[in-house]
Amino acid sequence: MHRGWQLILLLFVAAAFAVPAVAQQPAPPPPSAAPASPAAKPKPRPKPKPAPKPAAEAAKPAEAKPAAPGAQPKLLGQYADWGAYTASPGGKKVCFAISKPTSEETSPPNRPRNPIYMFISTRPADKVTNEVSIIIGYPFKPGSEASAQVGSTTFALYTQQDGAWIKNAAEEAQMVDAMRSGDTVIVKGVSAKGTQTTDTYNLKGVSQALDRTAQECK
Kindly report, residue by residue over 130-151, the tens digit of the pLDDT. 999 999 999 999 999 999 999 9
The domain tally of the chain equals 1
Is the residue at 46 inside a domain? Answer: no
Is 203 part of a structural domain of the chain? yes
pLDDT digits (tens, 9 = 90+) for 12-42: 666 655 544 333 333 444 444 333 444 444 4
Check which CATH number belongs to the domain holding 178 and give it. 2.60.40.1880
> Which residue range(s) make up the domain with 78?
3-14+70-216
Q: Is residue 51 part of a domain?
A: no
**Does residue 183 fall inside a structural domain?**
yes
Evaluate whether residue 24 is within a structural domain: no
User: In what helix (H) or strand (E) does residue 84 lie, and over which residues does it extend?
Assistant: strand 82-87
Separation of alpha carbons 12 and 27, rounded Å: 27
Residue 177 lies in a domain: yes
- CA-only gyration radius of the chain, Å: 22
